[in-house]
Amino acid sequence: MRKVLFVFIGIILLSHSCSDKDEDFAITKVVDKEKFDINVKKISLGRKFKLAYSIDNMQAVYDSLKEMSGLKSVNQLEPTHYYVRFLPKDTTEFDLLLSDTSLVLFSTPFDYEVEGAGGEEYHDPSLPDNQITWQYTSVPIDYEFPNVKYEILDRLYISPDFDLSNNDDGCIYDDSDSYSALKSAMSFSRKLQIEAFARVGCDIKVGETGKSLKGFLSFLDPTWTPKACIYAKEDLLGKSIPLKGVRVYICHGGAIACRTTNADGYVKFPKCIGPVLYKIEWADKYWRIYDGIPGLPVFYSGPTKRSNWLLNITGGQSLHYACIHRGCYLHFYDENFGIYRPVNRVKTAVIPHKICYKMAMGSGQYCSDYSAFTSNIAPDIKVYGKNSKGQYKTTYSVFKTMVHELGHMPPTVFMLTEPSICLLMTM
């Protein structure tokens, strides 16, 4: 009887594995406008909640689980991370934060729900309109803070078992089978994670996109797999196309993960329990897009949800950011017909090219390769969003301008020790 039961469970697990693969294939091939979030500009915050990995919440759950097991809790959990926010006073301080590649900045707080599809803009209502808004992130407990105003909002306990940052080199899919998920669901660490999200009021029931086991076994594994599919409208083709090479982030209870979209505009993250906060960063190690001149770095703040994020960018400045991104990706990664791929370096550090976008009349302007000499204060390239008639430019026009201006860039600039000493080299 026991053998029959194991065979029956094995059949169910195998059938799940096949269905999950089919779902992955379908999400990358079908563009259904009714199922995609239509982007909006303003961001709306919903309810406030306690972060699941808050040290107070984790300690309470830990003590409760120990008590249920008939054991007395004697362990005092130590915080591993801080939940913090920075308030840069100007673009120079903002660029200082961006130069720290270990930081992942969100313009929206982690402990509020971002409703709807998200959007391009959020500004803390308690701050003046001309003040840069707070930037939220989590950092290790031993992080050395830069000389920028900051506040520690909470202490977190993110155990290595909760870390989502492994395999952060593109679309590395979690291929663990359902048996592994079932096994980990029984571990104390997984129980701790599940109860932590349940205690702060998160819905951890298995949803349509989160099923890891079918039928009566589904309650054993309440995990789900966050996935995102990012498209943008292209006027010349008359349809939406996938965006390749876009950095997509999630925040899960205070833990942060990043993946980069593949040729289908698709990313898949490690398994999670509760809802996640999504975000797009319009940047790469070779470039960063800014709104205005000198301007602020641009993001697309996605929603807080426990399901896949399907975003079809059809308007707003984000549509032009997508065109600029496509031009940069073509120039630095795809076939660009042998044109130099200019990389700014200060010693061993790569300084991203600063691409400044302005919603005003104009074409494009190559401003010389200043960023290696000015720590990315001055723009390398300016791109304008309106034509000579004051009309919103087509996506093809913005893409063409971006590719043209990148072609003006000189060979690689290497900084040695002082700004007055540099060496030009071809790649």
pLDDT in tens, 251-289: 999 999 999 999 999 999 998 988 999 999 999 999 999
Predicted confidence at residue 19, as pLDDT, reads 39
| pTM of the predicted protein model | 0.81
- Report the pLDDT averaged over residues 319-343: 86
Round the average pLDDT of the chain to a whole number and report it.
Answer: 78
- Report the pLDDT averaged over residues 188-211: 71
Lowest mean pLDDT among 64-68, 222-226, 272-276: 64-68
Residue 414 clears pLDDT 70, i.e. is over it: no
| Bridge partners of residue 106, in order along the sequence | 136
Residue 13 clears pLDDT 70, i.e. is over it: no
Residue 171 clears pLDDT 90, i.e. is over it: no
Residue type, 253: G
Longest dimension (CA), the chain: 80
- Report the pLDDT averaged over residues 6-17: 43
76-120 pLDDT, tens digit each: 899 999 999 999 999 889 989 998 989 999 999 999 999 887 888
Give the torsion through C-alpha atoms of 367, 371, 372, 373, to 10 deg: 80
335-391 pLDDT, tens digit each: 776 777 777 666 677 788 899 999 999 888 887 655 444 445 678 899 999 998 889
> Do the Cβ atoms of 193 and 187 come closer than 8 Å?
no
Residue type, 418: E
- The residue behind tokens 């960023």 is 371
Residue 150 or 352, more confident: 150
Chain centroid, CA 122 distance in Å: 16
Q: What is the C-alpha to C-alpha distance for residues 166 and 142, in angstroms, rounded to an integer? A: 20
124-143 pLDDT, tens digit each: 999 998 899 999 999 999 99
- Report the pLDDT averaged over residues 313-335: 92
Predicted confidence at residue 424, as pLDDT, reads 41
- Report the pLDDT averaged over residues 187-203: 83
25-60 pLDDT, tens digit each: 344 444 444 455 656 677 889 889 999 999 999 999
Residue 160 clears pLDDT 50, i.e. is over it: yes
Rg (CA), the chain: 23
Q: How much of the chain, in percent, has pLDDT values that exceed 70? A: 71
Predicted confidence at residue 293, as pLDDT, reads 82
| Bridge partners of residue 259, in order along the sequence | 248
